[in-house]
Amino acid sequence: MKLRHSIMLGTLGRYADRFHCYQPARSLEERLIDIREVIKADGIEIVYPQDFADERTVELVKKSGLPVSAVNVNVKSEDKWRRGSFTAPDEKTRREAVAYLQTGMDLAAELGTDMVTCCPLIDGHNYAFEADYTKQWRWLEEGIYAAASHRSDIKVSLEYKLNESRNFNILSDVGRTLYLCEKLGLPNLGITMDVGHALIAKETPAEAFSLAAAAGRMFYLHLNDNSREWDWDMIPGSVNYWDLLEVLFYVKRLNWSGWISYDVFARDGHPIETLQATISIVNNTIELLDKVGQDKLEELLAGGVAAQTFAHLVKSLL
Amino acid sequence: MKLRHSIMLGTLGRYADRFHCYQPARSLEERLIDIREVIKADGIEIVYPQDFADERTVELVKKSGLPVSAVNVNVKSEDKWRRGSFTAPDEKTRREAVAYLQTGMDLAAELGTDMVTCCPLIDGHNYAFEADYTKQWRWLEEGIYAAASHRSDIKVSLEYKLNESRNFNILSDVGRTLYLCEKLGLPNLGITMDVGHALIAKETPAEAFSLAAAAGRMFYLHLNDNSREWDWDMIPGSVNYWDLLEVLFYVKRLNWSGWISYDVFARDGHPIETLQATISIVNNTIELLDKVGQDKLEELLAGGVAAQTFAHLVKSLL
Amino acid sequence: MKLRHSIMLGTLGRYADRFHCYQPARSLEERLIDIREVIKADGIEIVYPQDFADERTVELVKKSGLPVSAVNVNVKSEDKWRRGSFTAPDEKTRREAVAYLQTGMDLAAELGTDMVTCCPLIDGHNYAFEADYTKQWRWLEEGIYAAASHRSDIKVSLEYKLNESRNFNILSDVGRTLYLCEKLGLPNLGITMDVGHALIAKETPAEAFSLAAAAGRMFYLHLNDNSREWDWDMIPGSVNYWDLLEVLFYVKRLNWSGWISYDVFARDGHPIETLQATISIVNNTIELLDKVGQDKLEELLAGGVAAQTFAHLVKSLL
Amino acid sequence: MKLRHSIMLGTLGRYADRFHCYQPARSLEERLIDIREVIKADGIEIVYPQDFADERTVELVKKSGLPVSAVNVNVKSEDKWRRGSFTAPDEKTRREAVAYLQTGMDLAAELGTDMVTCCPLIDGHNYAFEADYTKQWRWLEEGIYAAASHRSDIKVSLEYKLNESRNFNILSDVGRTLYLCEKLGLPNLGITMDVGHALIAKETPAEAFSLAAAAGRMFYLHLNDNSREWDWDMIPGSVNYWDLLEVLFYVKRLNWSGWISYDVFARDGHPIETLQATISIVNNTIELLDKVGQDKLEELLAGGVAAQTFAHLVKSLL
């Protein structure tokens, strides 16, 4: 198990929901300095095309010395994606989505990582009788296949999410994403599991992790939390602490190595403080695994009696 | 499109939840007569082993003249399944679950149908650190593969469901079930889609139907309804009427032929009345499709503007 | 029963969520003309202070000849409300929230209506151990009491909502709002029921309407729809059609008179088209009540057997 | 703060859901011995009329020396309540529900407690157009008023719950229950807060506790847990650990004294083991409050920055 902590550049920038703007925009330079010198993270996740609006981006990132964990390809925000990206009814738009993913792959190579991650958040539907479901899935398959075939040295990691911006996103859960990967059969295709997305999809995050890992497709991990009804992007473990512990238990048990990135947004206080707390909580939770005892947990798991397990777990907190 | 209505024998029998018993037990003979002569359904769905407790069952069913739509294999109710069926930690129990499914397949053949349906409702977990997710999924794959390989002339149709009896069932949604089918690669393996289960899994039923149909795995359809939070087994269309209409639109559009079975339980009034209403509602909704206009719906779907679609839909109701 | 349709000015303006901007900003003049001449609504709902940024607002509204259904007081969007409005820990901020509501009341009088509506969307909490619940509720009571006491000729109608922007809003459901009204005892204090908010609070909208009406506090009605998990602000009846029908049945049954306002946002197509469809759907659904038969519905209600009710309802659609 | 642990007799008896029977029935004697000698609880909660089926019940309970925390009046299970109890359309049934509650009050006095608790789980509705909401609420008010007026020395504590057995229970959340108490104005009327019920009503349990306590109506506490979608009656703190900690923080902060009863059912292992673990977890969590520091928590609460709070909380677990 080798884990590295990555900060999404966006989590240090402007943040607004429908009703309120919580955080102001901040320059790329400023954010890179904070990540390296204050947060002391191991790397960054960077969004294409938004974070590349400034043409000095590649240069600034390289100069920062911070490794890039993944290029996150955004196919949802711009006007052109209004009716969808990989599943837009318009063929030209679908081709553009593929091109975005391919450009992201090339940028990843240039920035020294082997990973792009992409969450197709505007592919799906809001209303009944609004989208042609049969075509949409075929277009998704075609688009992802075309993009991932672009080059085999870069992994394409798909991030599933139940809803937002669409009421029903097409790539909604781990099973569906694994089905897509299995059907397309490309070895460089895999999964970004965001714990918050697993929770709103009514999954058990550690179970989704295990399922994707067993398929050899557990590529990239996003940690955060929520109350299982909406993707609030909260501090990991701040709601479902046992789920965080269990995810890290499986990470260790399956000897998974990779980047952990944090889709955590601050609505109170400063984002730097939030991200520092985030990394400290994850490290301390890994330490708690030792306190509880990985072997003891294996033994309790084999027993399968929740009363024994939780009596032990809570006692271990004292 | 050729549709036939099937009645689950259980929906005319005893019905109780944790707190209240709503319907008394009734004899098999009585129920068969009601289905044929009062409800006038096209066939029945029968549960193995419970409905076969009486050794005259095969004879009684044959004598009734009612075709069997599917044998429903129950691997959840008996004591022996307490810790799971296909994913029980005990190997002997897992083998027994496989044997049940195979016996169900043989019974199906004997009763003149080519379909068993099975909803593994006790495979999953309730608590964190209770089940070994990695083993569970492997056991599920092994068990389903072994069972479905028993004979290729009988279809094994898996019914997914998010929860109940487990807080988290392992076969929770359509994507995961398609992944399993795709991975095992057996042509006689497919999906029973229960509209109520799709709703609690936060799916759009018509979309799940289309996805399974495109994979050639949409074997069997259960209709009912709920408010998307729990599987109340309500009358079809009584909550999400547009979803029922959209499912039937896709049934027609994809020219799907098969059995529609009704997992609908009466908590008020008599089950006969409930099932009569159920079939009448489905038939009338198919008729409404004509009133709205299948071509008009295709046109609205191509337009993709909900305002136009719903203005037309509601106007059509007058 | 006398119903009038009101358009929220905001629904014709800029619209964006976390990830995408769906509609551009439009001038007040333009919107007033559209409402009067294209949508042909009966009035408008206007937001203080945002819609009053232009000092000509009062003049423009009066000139338009469109009645104002209510002044909607926004105590959530501006920076100053970051930590809450009526329940902000800072006393000066709490006083400012009260002042906003009072100014809204005066503006209402000036614009010829007797109603302000207010949804305190930033009062609540996101995390455990973040807010002092005991103080928060007391502050809410004090603030609302102070505001509503400002003048008795203007009704203060509180709009409850489960969440957003807070993970947990303090004024979350109809029961809590009625409790507040009852406790404060002011006759000019009542409830704005937004059907979408009722749905995400897991209420039955018609039941919430009946409860508030029986208490003499059902002041103002917002129609829209969603799938009961998030406030998507969809076209009324586009998901839960029977709920819309049932709300309108109670409106008629209780002979309720008042404004219906539409918190409906267009993410596809033009807002004008969406709002036209919205009003047409509501009018046609009122007409459907006649087709189904208000008396027949009373009879079915008295019977209380869902099978009979829904068989009749669906048959009526043909 | 003086807390006492009570065991519901039912949690040691037969336990079944729709699909599986998890625990066999056990005699009253046996259960009383287990509670006193093995679990070593401080008292019992007993159900009228079911636990009084045996005419020796009062004698056996008295002989056991175990104090009774409350008599739990069951108005849901028997056939007669099929259409409701306090809100049944049939007047005689409604009067019988009132009589049950009054009998429960007399039994409470006889058994030496001042508390009955009642969760009206069959009052509400399943379908649209099934219940007359206006009458139902009036009947609820009349019934509860009549019952609680029976004698002022016994507290009537109402337990709210969102759903089950009805899809929509009428007494669904804390706000509505407080509204009822406030409206009826009887000082012996209050609230049983079940943490699991608060969670499925999308409440924050500690907030609901604080709200009821501030109104002087926080009478009785049920602890258990679930994933906020269904009342699984799990071990307290096994899902939402921070919520358990926060509830106990408010119990201590508000110096609340009373009985804590455990609506916790074992689906794996023996109920004795489950209830022992339950009490141990609650006691250890109270101890954890000291380890974290009640004063430190007050300080973090005053700060209101989740990053600081959760960094501290998780660090405290090591």
* Close Cβ partners of D274 (under 8 Å, ≥ 6 residues apart): A306, A307, D11, D235, D264, D265, D266
- Give me the mean pLDDT over the D78-91 stretch: 97
pLDDT of residue B1: 87
- Nearest residue to C10 via CA among C226, C266, C223, C279: C266
> Exposed (0-12), middle (13-18) or buried (19+): which is B63, by Cβ within 10 Å?
exposed
Instruction: Kindly state the tokens that stand for D31.
Output: 């259960």
Asked if pLDDT for residue C122 goes beyond 90, the answer is yes
DSSP run (H or E) holding C23: strand C21-23
Does the pLDDT value for residue C278 go beyond 90?
yes
Q: Cβ contact (<8 Å) for A268 and D304?
A: yes
Considering only CA atoms, which of A64, A12, A10 is closest in space to residue A37?
A: A64
Q: Which chains touch B (3 or more CB pairs under 8 A)?
A: A, C, D
Q: How far is CA C280 from CA A74, B307, B315, C237, D178, in A?
A: 38, 10, 8, 11, 39
Write down the pLDDT at residue C79. 97
**CB atoms C307 and B276 under 8 Å:** yes
DSSP string, A21-69: EEE----HHHHHHIIIIII--SEEEEEETGGGSSTTHHHHHHHHTPPEE
Q: How far apart are alpha carbons C18 and A77 in whole angstroms?
A: 9
D125 touches chain B (CB under 8 A): no
Q: In which region does residue C167 sit, left (phi positive, over 0), alpha (psi from -120 to 50) or beta (all else)? A: alpha
The CA distance from B270 to B266, in Å, is 7
Provide the shortest C-alpha distance from residue D47 to chain A (in Å): 25
CB C245 within 8 A of CB C290: no
Task: Look up the CATH number of domain A5-271.
Answer: 3.20.20.150
The gap from C-alpha B109 to its chain's centroid, in whole angstroms, comes to 19
Separation in Å, CA of B227 to nearest CA in chain C: 8
Nearest alpha carbon to residue D168 among A276, C173, C4: C173
Give the count of alpha carbons within 13 A of C76, CB side only.
21
CA distance B1 to B258: 8
Taking Cα atoms as reference points, which of A272, C87, A240 lies closest to residue D304? C87
pLDDT tens figures, C13-60: 999 999 999 999 999 999 999 999 999 999 999 999 999 998 999 999
Provide the 3-class DSSP secondary structure of residue B151: coil
Q: Is B55 on the interface with D (CB under 8 A)?
A: no
Residue A231 sits at the chain B interface (C-beta within 8 Å): no
Decide: D85 and D97 in contact? Cβ < 8 Å.
yes
In the predicted model, is pLDDT for residue D1 greater than 90? no
Q: Please give the model's pTM, rounded to 2 decimal places.
A: 0.98
Q: Residue B276: pLDDT band by 50, 70, 90 thresholds?
A: very high
Quick check: B15 contacting A, CB < 8 Å? no
HSE-up of residue C227 (Cα within 13 Å, Cβ side) = 20
Closest Cβ opposite residue B20 in set D122, D239, D267: D122
Percent of chain A at pLDDT exceeding 70 = 100
Cβ(C14)–Cβ(C22) below 8 Å: no
Which residues in chain A touch residue C235, judged by CB atoms under 8 angstroms apart? 127
* Tens-digit pLDDT profile for residues D29-79: 999 999 999 999 999 999 999 999 989 999 999 999 999 999 999 999 999
3-state SS class at A316: helix
For A245, the 3-state DSSP assignment is: helix
CA–CA separation, B142 and C108 (whole Å): 69
Closest-CA distance of chain A to residue B62, Å:
39
CB contact under 8 A, B237 and C310: yes
**3-class SS of residue C204:** coil
What is the C-alpha separation between A226 and A199, in angstroms, rounded? 7
The radius of gyration of chain D from alpha carbons, rounded to an integer in Å, stands at 19
Q: What is the per-residue pLDDT across D177-231, written as a single tens digit (0 to 9) for each?
A: 999 999 999 999 999 999 999 999 999 999 999 999 999 999 999 999 999 999 9
What the block records as the tokens of C293 is: 């038969």
Q: Which chains touch A (3 or more CB pairs under 8 A)?
A: B, C, D
- pLDDT of A1 higher than 90: no
Q: Which residues fall within 8 angstroms of residue A121, CB to CB, at 6 or more apart? A: A75, A76, A161, A164, A165, A166, A169, C19
From residue D292, give the alpha-carbon distance in Å to each of A285, B21, D282. Answer: 16, 47, 15
Q: Is the pLDDT of residue A264 over 90?
A: yes
Is residue D137 within 8 A of residue C174, CB to CB? The reply is: no
User: C120 is written with which tokens?
Assistant: 């305190």
Q: What pLDDT score was predicted for residue B298?
A: 98
Report d(CA C70, CA D254) in Å as an integer: 40
Q: At C91, which amino acid appears?
A: E
pLDDT digits (tens, 9 = 90+) for A59-115: 999 999 999 999 999 999 999 999 999 999 999 999 999 999 999 999 999 999 999
Tokens 């939780």 -> residue: A310
**What pLDDT, on the 0 to 100 scale, is given for residue D246?**
98
8 A C-beta contact, residue B7 and residue B39: yes
pLDDT tens sequence across D104-163: 999 999 999 999 999 999 999 999 999 999 999 999 999 999 999 999 999 999 999 999
The shortest CB-CB distance from C133 to any of D83, D137, D206 is to: D206
Q: How many CB pairs under 8 A join A and C?
A: 88
Supply the pLDDT for residue D285: 98
> Angle A230-A234-A240 (CA atoms, 0-180°, nearest 5)?
80
3-state secondary structure of C47: strand
Mean pLDDT of the region B200-211: 98
CB contact B281 to C (< 8 Å):
yes
Residue C1 has pLDDT above 90, yes or no: no
A252: buried, middle or exposed (CB in 10 Å: 19+, 13-18, 0-12)?
A: middle
pLDDT, chain C, mean = 97
Residues D19, B127: C-beta atoms closer than 8 Å: no
Residue D147: other Cβ atoms inside 10 A: 25
Among A3, A10, A2, residue whose Cα is nearest residue A45: A10
Q: Does the structure show a pLDDT above 90 at C298? A: yes
The confidence score (pLDDT) of residue A182 equals 97
Residues 6+ apart with CB under 8 A from C263: C8, C11, C194, C196, C222, C223, C224, C233
CB contact under 8 A, D82 and B268: yes
State yes or no: pLDDT of A259 exceeds 90: yes
pLDDT in tens, C190-239: 999 999 999 999 999 999 999 999 999 999 999 999 999 999 999 999 99
Domains of chain A, residue spans: 5-271
* Residue-wise pLDDT tens digits, B40-53: 999 999 999 999 99
Task: For residue A258, list its beta bridge partners.
Answer: A3
On whether any CB of chain D is under 8 Å from the CB of A230, the answer is no
Q: What is the pLDDT of residue C240?
A: 98
Strands B115-118 and B124-125: unpaired
- pLDDT over 90 for what percent of chain C? 99
Residues of B in contact with A138 (CB under 8 A): 214
What is d(CA D176, CA D179) in angstroms, rounded to the nearest whole number? 5
Neighboring chain B residues of D122 at a CB cutoff of 8 Å: 19-20
pLDDT tens readout for residues A32-58 = 999 999 999 999 999 999 999 989 999
